[in-house]
Structure 1
């Protein structure tokens, strides 16, 4: 039987709310989902590194480069159901999670210590030769052009432990890159539903190939957005993710 303090821990309550939010999700616009999603964001905003019993890593800029001391990124698994997964990513000084997607998935991240820079992109609903009515002539072989997507950079934001959660949606801010800024960092991560290649939810990596010529910028919500080309690539050779044990309160669902 789970100890009483674990049953009432913030991470346990957060997991229960994530389950309530995503287990019976019908529509992003439904009142019930929006209310549960708001409760989940509010709970996530309360989480601090001490709640998970994680000790922050060194913050000096002179830390050893990550490639010399193992994987640049490690992951602490907390829990997973058919509806969501939850864990902690730890990024070493100078490391990043490359530009990637969460196909048809929601994402929420809350920084526990340090600072991250999150760059978000959206695909545009057009073929490579039709975006902005401009020709597409990047230095690619013909077979590679099928992997190219006209896209737009929606935002670049920096987050610390004092910041509200960063929220990603199935059709908005779904492609993103996460970089450690000025030292090591860690963030609590919720994905809903979890990755599942058999159900069309595999992780894909991308590279910014070419910015659409000047004058092709779009505006959305009153903000200028820069169009660019993204090409799907294999997982970058300098990125891999290791694992380490999660030291905090256990979660039972």
Structure 2
């Protein structure tokens, strides 16, 4: 069977169905419930590992194909967006789609409140920096804006890499940078962003290293400040041309 033909398109459908099973209901307390969720989540990760650009009818773009052209060009509202999104499917339990980053583009540091996520690179290379907040602000405008956090990891991912995974408790904030050319990745978020249900996207920047450091902790502690959406970042849409998904 040849990659990308009708016989292989079922991988996209299988991923969506497994995501529906995995996130059909929030993970409940109890050993059996937790075990079932972990087993289903592992199956979903394995399926995501199999997906390739051809399965989505996604054609890798060249380095000069709509390059971001730097921050100055990105700030020009009349230019094309540095990042676009192909919507594949969405339910009240999860959303699935593809993000495409132009050469030099970045998705700024942002959070996923109460959400699980799985990211799999389809082509190109991304650098992902993952953070977690160590404490919630005690109160007051200043306290709410700056939060003590930890840089969990920074790594580069290609189509040969396994998925990058986040949970409500771990690696929940991340920044994604295109490295050495344009890139694209398949993305599942569960549940989807929904400001009306307390899941709005917030943006951050690193202010400085944390004043208090745990000598036994290998990760780097930092202060993160919540900011408005950076002016040089916005996300446009483009049509998804891959296999239809039915749920």
TM-score, normalised relative to structure 2: 0.87
Inter-CA distance 173–34: structure 2 relative to 1 (3 Å threshold)? same
Deviation of 1:99 (Å): 0.3
Q: For the residues of structure 1 that align with 2:229 and 2:186, how far apart are their CA atoms?
A: 22
Aligned length: 233
Of the candidates 200, 204, 213, which is equivalent to residue 216 of structure 1?
213
Match of 1:43 in 2: 47
Secondary structure of 2:219's aligned partner: strand
Q: For the residues of structure 2 that align with 1:58 and 1:217, how far apart are their CA atoms?
A: 44
Per-residue CA shift, 1:110-144, capped at 9, x if unaligned?
0000000010011112658xxxxxxxxxxxxx843
- List structure 1 segments (4+ residues) > 6 angstroms apart after TM superposition: none
Match of 1:11 in 2: 12
Per-residue CA shift, 1:124-183, capped at 9, x if unaligned?
12658xxxxxxxxxxxxx843321110010000110000000000111100110000011
TM-score, normalised relative to structure 1: 0.85
Secondary structure of 1:12's aligned partner: helix
Of the candidates 208, 223, 231, which is equivalent to residue 237 of structure 1?
231
Of the candidates 34, 37, 40, which is equivalent to residue 33 of structure 1?
37
Task: Point out where structure 1 has 5 or more consecutive residues left out of the alignment.
Answer: 129-141
Inter-CA distance 64–73: structure 2 relative to 1 (3 Å threshold)? closer
Inter-CA distance 36–146: structure 2 relative to 1 (3 Å threshold)? same
Of the candidates 145, 148, 151, which is equivalent to residue 150 of structure 1?
148
Contact map agreement 1:218 1:227 (CA 8 A) in 2: no
Contact map agreement 2:111 2:202 (CA 8 A) in 1: yes
Match of 1:160 in 2: 158
Q: For the residues of structure 2 that align with 1:249 and 1:61, how far apart are their CA atoms?
A: 24
Counterpart mapping for 1:110-125 below 5 A: 110-125=120-135
Deviation of 1:26 (Å): 2.4
CA RMSD of aligned residues (A): 2.4
Q: For the residues of structure 2 that align with 1:64 and 1:86, how far apart are their CA atoms?
A: 24
Match of 1:136 in 2: none
Q: For the residues of structure 2 that align with 1:233 and 1:18, how far apart are their CA atoms?
A: 32
Per-residue CA shift, 1:86-126, capped at 9, x if unaligned?
00000000010000000000010000000000100111126
Match of 1:225 in 2: 219
Q: For the residues of structure 1 that align with 2:136 and 2:201, how far apart are their CA atoms?
A: 22
Deviation of 1:225 (Å): 1.1
Inter-CA distance 192–31: structure 2 relative to 1 (3 Å threshold)? same
Inter-CA distance 27–233: structure 2 relative to 1 (3 Å threshold)? same
Task: Point out where structure 2 has 5 or more consecutive residues left out of the alignment.
Answer: 1-5
Match of 2:105 in 1: 95
Match of 2:3 in 1: none
Q: For the residues of structure 2 that align with 1:61 and 1:54, how far apart are their CA atoms?
A: 14
Match of 1:23 in 2: 24
